[in-house]
Structure 1
Amino acid sequence: MSRQIKNILILSASIGSGHDRAANALAGALQSRYPLAQITVVDFMDGERSYLSGFMKETYLRMLRLSPNIYDVLYRWTQNGRQGTGMGTLMARVLQESMLEIIETYQPDWLIATHPFSCGAAAYLKRKGKIHIPLVGVITDFAVHRLWVYPEVDCYFVAVPELREALLAQGVAAAKVNVTGIPIDSRFSQAVDRTAAGRRLGLATDRYTVLLMGGGLGLGGVSQAIYVLNEISLPLQLVVVVGKNRKLYKKLQAVTAASGHPVKLLGYTSQVPELMAAADVLITKPGALTISEALSMKLPMLLYAPIPGQEKENAAYLDAKGAAFWVKNDAELKRLLTGMIVNGNIAAFVQDNAEKLGQPRAAEAIAAIISHRFDKRGIVSGF
């Protein structure tokens, strides 16, 4: 059946900030393509919307903080086809009522998921014949987990060619899978003068600038990394971003005050493009959005203290491609950073490889491919 596109719903999940950032970047690109359409981003894991969704989110975050090894076991166990399919179906059944309520509220013509939980719940409703709208999965990592894979998904967008091959190996039709990169804010595609950015941020121009980020939730070994950097006697300055973790922010106020290097401590900030432009290197846990943003700006990265599961896979992929260094311990962090400071060729090598992987216009590429699913009158085609 053909119908005019008036409403596109993007379902994110506020587990960290990456899925939300991808959703918002894609919303902006789609709005440029369809200025008269209603483009809405909804947090599928909002506890105020659904008790079950909120409970699952808090359980996940608590597991990451208190028992990361258990999460790692569950992640790998559900990668298996049978276990993954069973777990995906169970979670989708639990979340289906929340998903159906959202869809009935917004009445979308298209549904786009940037998290596997929302993708699975929507796919389950399609399987049961309760909804009949195109479903798009935007995979926001450099690895594909089994919980993303459902025959009811009409179209996938992935970061790199290897993920396309992984989906094909799991039975997804080749015509459904598009390699575009991960959607990021368009500001990361804009050229910014490094010296000018540093001055606007109040940074010294004669010091090596280390940007240290722990993700939107402030995870990722930030305080330990600062202790390691304090052992380096070269002229550094640190910009530390801890996200929404207020407890960590207060702790780091004391840690950074005792640092031998100048430190600029920030909570959650919208200045990340300018911070990356001003930095010489980024030390971060390998959340896919943060590393996609850094790749687009050709910012050398040291990937430190990854969350088990998808972040370890992200780190392994970039390290294998020479686009970043996966730092396995504190001694390696000190050695690699010292080497980058004294030998500019190391950073140049990483920057060259980062440029090959960076996709600063991924959101626009996804929007363009989606637009090709419509004829010139804006009518659904190809499904």
Structure 2
Amino acid sequence: MIVENILIFSASIGNGHNQAAKALSEEFEKRGYQCEIIDTFKFINPAFHKMILEGYLKILKYCPSVWRKLYSHTEERPWYMIMDQFGTMLCDKLYSKIKESRCISLISVHPFSTAILSKMKSKKNVHIPLYSVITDFVLHPAYFRNEVDGYFTASDQLDYYSSRYNVPLSKIHSTGIPIRSIPSAMKSKLTLKHELNLDAEKKTILITGGAIDLTKFTKVLKALNTLESNLQIVCITGHNKKATKKIKQSDCKHETVSIGFTNRFTDYLRASDVIISKAGGLTMSESLVCETPILIYQPVPGHEEHNSQYLLKYGAALIAEVYKDIPVVLEQFLSNESYYEEIIQNIKKIQKPNAAKEIIDKIINI
């Protein structure tokens, strides 16, 4: 039996892209395909990867307005095409890998990977199909390249993107953002609270900052002190030991649990009554599947702000612009049961738990 190979290209700039790659890989392997996930920049040059990641994080931490302007300007002016020039210099190593693997399809879950792979296809005259899986709820023009054979998105505005960016409608598919299976989504919140040793009598608030830890946990906890409700707060800090230490030293009046890196994130997410988070595409998609209302706080400028607008448009989330707004907005979730249930119903309308399966189905059919 010949096993057909698929290469999935990601980038460790945040964890969402890697999680999407794993979701696709698992689904392909269920169908008998062999998959390899390639962390694009690390594979090409670890030092270059470190430079890209550190530069990105410093801009977000110290000059977020610069990133916002860069993102918005590139929607109108193709400055992002500079990545294609990097692609010209970096594609040889990827080309050797692709030849060696004898793969039948290339899949990219990051726009930088897409740019480099597109340039490689053009420069090396490669005819292997290339598919772009978009891990946000909106499409930036940086995603579109002539060499891409298909796009998979959570957006339902396919006609708009097709006409605006002159992309054949047949190439764009509304599937959702691929996430890994969440078995706990079938369990009740009460059951999961018992399993996780959480107080079933208290409202549970989950706070997370994503893999790049941009959430200021102690500032959020301080804001929550103004709430009269007796809450239970779970902070997922990942590998951020400094945040864990500060949380333990905080004077939050509510019962607070700090969790480092865990494989049970979606269990905590499903058990929670509300999640306070920035607006990463994967975390938001998992929240929708877990039917946990979202309070968005400090989304990353650009793509996450667009994710926020998408979720707000469909009534699946609320947003706190500054930390002092957090308790005011949170009270809307906690004090009005009919409003809370309305949000749950809105979430059900846009959740897409089978996105990975749909994407694989379409790629196989293509």
Length-normalised TM-score, structure 1: 0.90
Partner of 1:65: 61
* Residues 353 and 48 (structure 1), Cα distance of their counterparts in 2 relative to 1, 3 Å cut: same
* 1:16, distance to aligned residue in structure 2 (A): 1.0
Partner of 1:348: 341
| Runs of at least 5 residues in structure 1 that lack an aligned partner in the other structure | 374-383
After superposing on structure 2, the runs of 4+ consecutive aligned residues of structure 1 that deviate more than 3 Å are: 47-50, 104-107
Partner of 1:376: none
Distance 1:128 1:69 in 2: 35
* Residues 47 and 62 (structure 1), Cα distance of their counterparts in 2 relative to 1, 3 Å cut: farther
Work out the percentage of aligned pairs sharing the same amino acid: 32
Q: How does 1:107-186 map to 2 (within 5 A)?
A: 107-162=102-157, 165-186=160-181
Q: Which residue identity is paired with 1:66?
A: Y
User: How far does the alpha carbon of each residue in 1:305-351 deviate from its partner, in whole angstroms, 9 at most, with x for none?
Assistant: 11111011111111121111122123321112122212112211111
Give the alignment partner of residue 245 of structure 2, picking from 246, 250, 254: 250
- Relative to structure 2, which stretch is displaced further, 67-76 or 291-300? 67-76
Q: How does 1:1-383 map to 2 (within 5 A)?
A: 6-33=4-31, 35=32, 37-46=33-42, 49-84=45-80, 86-162=81-157, 165-187=160-182, 190-255=185-250, 258-373=251-366
* Residues 11 and 188 (structure 1), Cα distance of their counterparts in 2 relative to 1, 3 Å cut: farther
Partner of 1:381: none
Distance 2:268 2:46 in 1: 36
* 1:21, distance to aligned residue in structure 2 (A): 0.6
CA contact (8 A) 1:209 1:237 kept: yes
CA contact (8 A) 1:12 1:44 kept: yes
CA contact (8 A) 1:217 1:243 kept: no
* Residues 309 and 92 (structure 1), Cα distance of their counterparts in 2 relative to 1, 3 Å cut: same
Distance 2:36 2:66 in 1: 35
* Residues 330 and 54 (structure 1), Cα distance of their counterparts in 2 relative to 1, 3 Å cut: closer
Distance 1:12 1:318 in 2: 25
Distance 2:46 2:220 in 1: 37
CA contact (8 A) 1:9 1:42 kept: yes
* 1:149, distance to aligned residue in structure 2 (A): 0.9
* 1:194, distance to aligned residue in structure 2 (A): 1.4
CA contact (8 A) 1:158 1:164 kept: no
Partner of 1:378: none
* Residues 176 and 351 (structure 1), Cα distance of their counterparts in 2 relative to 1, 3 Å cut: same
| Runs of at least 5 residues in structure 2 that lack an aligned partner in the other structure | none
Distance 1:360 1:189 in 2: 12
Length-normalised TM-score, structure 2: 0.94
Count of residue correspondences? 365
* Residues 239 and 189 (structure 1), Cα distance of their counterparts in 2 relative to 1, 3 Å cut: closer
Distance 1:46 1:246 in 2: 24
Q: Which residue identity is paired with 2:21?
A: A
Distance 2:144 2:262 in 1: 34
Distance 2:44 2:118 in 1: 23
Q: Which residue identity is paired with 1:30?
A: F
* Residues 189 and 125 (structure 1), Cα distance of their counterparts in 2 relative to 1, 3 Å cut: farther
- Relative to structure 2, which stretch is displaced further, 103-112 or 279-288? 103-112
Q: Which residue identity is paired with 1:209?
A: T
CA contact (8 A) 1:92 1:121 kept: yes
| Matched residue SS, 2:213 | coil
* 1:97, distance to aligned residue in structure 2 (A): 3.6
